[in-house]
Structure 1
């Protein structure tokens, strides 16, 4: 079957025909019941998603609904969805995210021309039965490697630093400040304070005249403070609302993250062992956390395969989704990175000479590498945990077209001279981080 062959159905932000979006959202209502989705007293993530109106929520709902429609069209019966509903509506976050990833994976295979059967919740060993047009049977295990505790610790730490920065920024009453903090090296879960409140205040003040760089006493962290350039379509920064950006990055705990990846591949491999069938291929499709590059994940899996491990697994496909913008900042889209790693030691080897396994990504673009991350215009090639909080509040001439934000994560406030405010929030990531 050769290597993975991919193509896109459409390259979009979300310029999907309206009738397709309506049908997809209708499918979500059919599966989870419209009345329940609209209940504001409930706190399930899918309810928050349904009740939100931002671009990212539309993407999530479109993908979920499209998966349901595609599977129903190709014969998956109603009972298969209803069996999963109880599990999905439970309080276990892993079940919620895991099942949605099953749906997305099923959609990728089905749109690629393969026959896909969604297995019931009680099925042991794997999640999907896939049959290719060449009549090759594949047992698919869907795994989600969710963000780690190490990532959560860094985000909590970053929020504390952001709060000190923002308090100092607000006290000074300035407009348009950038703060980029980079942890030069990772030392596990250390959350040593970078600067005190009064130091943030001093650095912000100095940055109004020229870019200013400061280093922590232990030389572990570096901060760059600078003044934001005023957008070309603005009279000035708003004096009522904040304009700033705060970004903190930290190298990932590589050993810890790769162990977590290993664990997920191992779980899938043990599942395949329970249902061993020498006539079927065993494929693990794993969603990688956004901060672990596809290249690093591929290298780890290849090393394990070359050591003769995971022999019940014929191949692994790593999937990772990001929101990306072009270099000119003129467009935003979804980008999905794919890598397929074939196991040379597998009990059921991948049939390389029998054509490619076809999959279709329904939204955005596809790559074989994780897109480069940029901080203050500089590409960061190393894997990093990243936290960002960005606001832009500007005064613009009446009649200015505001469109939609083209910077992921940026909250924009437009203040028309002599007119009301217009708010444009582009919040990323969404509730499920694009499944």
Structure 2
């Protein structure tokens, strides 16, 4: 969320930055709400001063026996008390309206973010590895012979509907191995602290990481009001809500492996076959809390950590910087990592790493103290996939597929599979 004082001081710059996202100027309407709120507060403070002055004069009028003045002043005190109550309610309403309006305005892109409308305008930063060109017609993951016994969409549809899958046998063992490999790498080599979090959260937590109020249709809410998390970014980042950290305690670098849930609103017709776009999936998430001055270096570090997972798996990928039109609501700058999928013959997103500056911290009142005795300031938050487990499974299956329908498994996963190195064409680990 934005600081209204910053908008008040430089509305033109604020609107110019939003224009890079393709948005119309909004500072006039925000400042009008701010002015109305401040006017109510000022009126309430003036009325309070008048009430206090009249209250003091009541005693003097009574002491000198001026009954008429005493009654007039007592009536004035009551009138001002009622006026203050009314103005306070009106100021609260204006404040709520301003906060609601501010909560619906996206973060401002950093200067280095390329301007553009959609994914076609994203800018490639680097590539790693050579896209695998198989000497036979590559299949998508769900059509590989050895995968079919372990990837059941029909049973999932019977149980839950579209965009769900039941994984079995060798496939689910490989899925579980990938998640464990990611967590181990992030903890043992990247120095992240592993955290286990709930997948059900309060509305305040969803607000803190900007899923609410604007994107409620993208998530699932239970009948008793809890929300199912779209990613553990929600829980890891909100662990700082209402806290004040000493500068020496930062950065806090965390990772979690959780179930995730997304309604996929607006994705009708996209990736309807296979398990690329699911309502329920697993992800290993990375979150960093740090000082604003170190956020950009932390962003590069987190991107490199996500890339390291793909490098260890031997999967070709490319890293792109998202343009202003493709960047998420809460991000200042985002790197997407896209892995090569032979079955589709193109790169597909497998990780998105974003720096949010103080945008989320302001929403959840997460602060740090720059120096001993100093006034607390909002910290910076970052989040990124390290990686999406299901999409990584797809990449391993498609890149490891053989002409006979078997799948060769990357060497770094063998120890997680009891020494097994492949999935046979019949669907067994061997």
TM-score bracket, normalised by the shorter chain, equals under 0.3
More helix by share: 2
More strand by share: 1
TM-score between both structures, scaled by the size of structure 1: 0.26
